């Protein structure tokens, strides 16, 4: 039976009641303390933005150590069912259980709900310690494919029956002579599909158009892996032209115009597309891209990339703007509407219970969640209050240690400061 607080999908659009039920997982290690601080801020932001006409009904669901201690399982079926039903959830970090046979809980959640986009926006907050001279030039949104690539989990250890069979098959049936040391090779498989690429790239371009961003860059290693990563690039360009037509201008059109009509005609076409506010679709080889984000970050905006590249790029970009304590993220399926917003750091067990670390990653993930729900006013209160706290140099220890003359607050004090700021705003 449907509760009135239940989110639903209708005609591809998320339907959000005024009092949505949102399952939360507080997480392990520092999870409970960053969750407690964040929840107060979320409630204050919603109250301030909508004056009681909207309110989140938080519903705790168990995962990780707390679930294991209470139920004997790390990820109870009831938790999966709650997220399946309510579509949107938010979570703190979870311990990866150690021992044979355990999959990471995060990976399990992603696979069970087919959350094919790992979304990581990366922007700079004035005053955050950064290794760059101009960190404010970094403002990107990463759409990382989350279900395919060498990360699909098809891997066999060296010397195993499976690896031997596969190596023999590759050699005998497919004529592959390229495995340098067949006797001692472990083997991994890298599936990259047209469908998987298209749903990811569609999400990235869609968002770029909605948010009036300047470009979408397809990041790949298609120069070396022609059919997998090269396929990603080509399918991405083809989809952009086929589904988004006049709203985008692709680098492939630029190149073909240059070849047929000369460089000036191509430049003119590009300039006109930019003036018309079209989203420019371009691509970069992954290794060059990692240089580009340091040298010319202002030239990049929305990024669409494969799973492994995306893993490296997300962390490299997060480090440019202040790193692990402040990078938000989400895993999403835009077709079913399922989305889990999460702190991107781990459980930092050595700090658990000290009320010391930074809740900003979870807070900013909450802001992303409110944007996703179509409550941008609440999102803005969260983001603006964090910006104001950092600008006034009142921050948690991780930042205070690296800043000049900053006041070091406990995690809970930092949360309370944001609540006060929101109430006064
Ligand atoms: P970690 O992110 O927990 O900690 C590494 C270091 O980062 C910490 O020592 C701390 O200095 C810093 N840090 C982390 N969170 C911070 C915060 N909020 N504010 C300021 N600084 C912060 O990584 P780890 O030690 O490799 O992993 C610990 C556990 O977390 C493992 O069980 C791992 O599997 C798990 N993990 C979970 C997730 C997740 O749930 N999404 C992600 C990564 C790791």
Residues 113-168: pLDDT tens digits? 999 999 999 999 999 988 899 999 999 999 999 999 998 889 999 999 999 999 99
Give dist(CA 313, CA 332) in Å, integer: 18
- pLDDT, tens digit, for every residue of 298-339? 999 999 999 999 999 999 999 999 877 899 999 999 999 999
Q: With cut-offs at 50, 70 and 90, classify the pLDDT of residue 3.
A: low
Find the 348 Cα to ligand 1 centroid distance in Å. 4
* pLDDT value at residue 248: 97
* Nearest residue by C-alpha to atom 34 in ligand 1: 96
* pLDDT value at residue 98: 75
Give dist(CA 364, CA 379) in Å, integer: 8
Give dist(CA 93, CA 87) in Å, integer: 19
Q: What is the mean pLDDT of residues 207-230?
A: 97
* CB of 346 closer than 6 angstroms to any ligand 1 atom: yes
* CB of 345 closer than 6 angstroms to any ligand 1 atom: yes
* CB of 369 closer than 6 angstroms to any ligand 1 atom: no
List active site positions.
151, 221, 287, 311
* pLDDT value at residue 346: 92
Q: With cut-offs at 50, 70 and 90, classify the pLDDT of residue 102.
A: low
Task: Say which residues have a Cβ less than 8 Å from residue 125's Cβ, sequence separation at least 6.
Answer: 321, 322, 326, 386, 387, 390
Radius of gyration of the chain (CA): 23
Give dist(CA 214, CA 202) in Å, integer: 16
Reduce the DSSP state of residue 115 to 3 states and report it: coil
Closest ligand 1 atom to Cα of 95: 32
By most ligand atoms within 8 Å of CB, the mutation choice from 31, 129, 347, 400 for ligand 1 is 347
Find the 94 Cα to ligand 1 centroid distance in Å. 9
Q: With cut-offs at 50, 70 and 90, classify the pLDDT of residue 99.
A: low
pTM score = 0.94
* Nearest residue by C-alpha to atom 22 in ligand 1: 325
Looking at the predicted structure, is the pLDDT value of residue 2 above 60?
Answer: no
* CB of 347 closer than 6 angstroms to any ligand 1 atom: yes
């Amino acid at each position: 039976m449907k509760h009135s607080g239940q989110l639903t999908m209708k005609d591809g659009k998320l339907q959000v009641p005024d009092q949505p039920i949102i399952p939360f997982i507080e997480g392990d290690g520092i999870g409970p303390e960053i969750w407690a601080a964040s929840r107060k801020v979320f409630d204050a932001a919603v109250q301030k933005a909508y004056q009681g006409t909207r309110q989140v009904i938080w519903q705790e669901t168990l995962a990780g150590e707390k679930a294991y201690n209470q139920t004997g399982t790390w990820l109870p079926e009831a938790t999966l069912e709650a997220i399946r039903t309510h579509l949107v959830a938010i979570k703190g970090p979870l311990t990866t259980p150690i021992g044979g046979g355990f999959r990471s809980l995060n990976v399990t959640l992603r696979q069970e709900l087919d959350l094919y986009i790992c979304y990581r926006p990366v922007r700079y907050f004035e005053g955050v310690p950064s290794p760059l001279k101009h960190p404010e030039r970094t403002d990107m949104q990463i759409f990382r494919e989350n279900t395919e690539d060498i990360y699909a989990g098809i891997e066999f250890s060296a010397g195993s029956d499976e690896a031997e069979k596969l190596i023999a098959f590759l050699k005998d049936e497919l004529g592959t002579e390229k495995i340098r040391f067949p006797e001692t090779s472990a083997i991994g498989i890298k599936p990259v599909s047209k469908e998987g690429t298209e749903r990811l790239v569609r999400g990235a371009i869609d968002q770029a158009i909605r948010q009036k961003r300047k470009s979408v860059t397809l990041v790949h290693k298609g120069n070396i892996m022609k059919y997998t990563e090269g396929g990603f690039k080509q399918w991405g360009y083809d989809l952009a032209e086929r589904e988004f037509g006049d709203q985008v201008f692709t680098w492939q059109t630029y190149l073909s115009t240059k070849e047929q009509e000369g460089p000036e005609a191509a430049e003119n076409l590009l300039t006109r597309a930019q003036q018309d506010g079209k989203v420019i679709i371009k691509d970069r080889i992954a290794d060059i891209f990692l240089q580009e984000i340091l040298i010319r970050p202002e030239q990049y905006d929305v990024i669409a990339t494969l799973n492994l590249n995306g893993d490296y790029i997300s962390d490299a970009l997060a480090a440019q703007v202040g790193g692990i304590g402040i990078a938000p993220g989400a895993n999403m399926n835009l077709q079913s509407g399922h989305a889990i917003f999460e702190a991107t750091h781990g459980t930092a067990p050595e700090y658990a219970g000290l009320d010391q670390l930074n809740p900003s990653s979870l807070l900013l993930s909450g802001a992303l969640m409110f944007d996703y729900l179509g409550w941008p006013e609440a999102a803005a209160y969260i983001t603006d209050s964090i910006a104001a706290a950092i600008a006034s140099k009142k921050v948690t220890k991780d930042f205070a240690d690296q800043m000049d003359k900053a006041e070091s607050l406990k995690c809970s004090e930092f949360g309370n400061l944001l609540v006060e700021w929101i109430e006064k705003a």
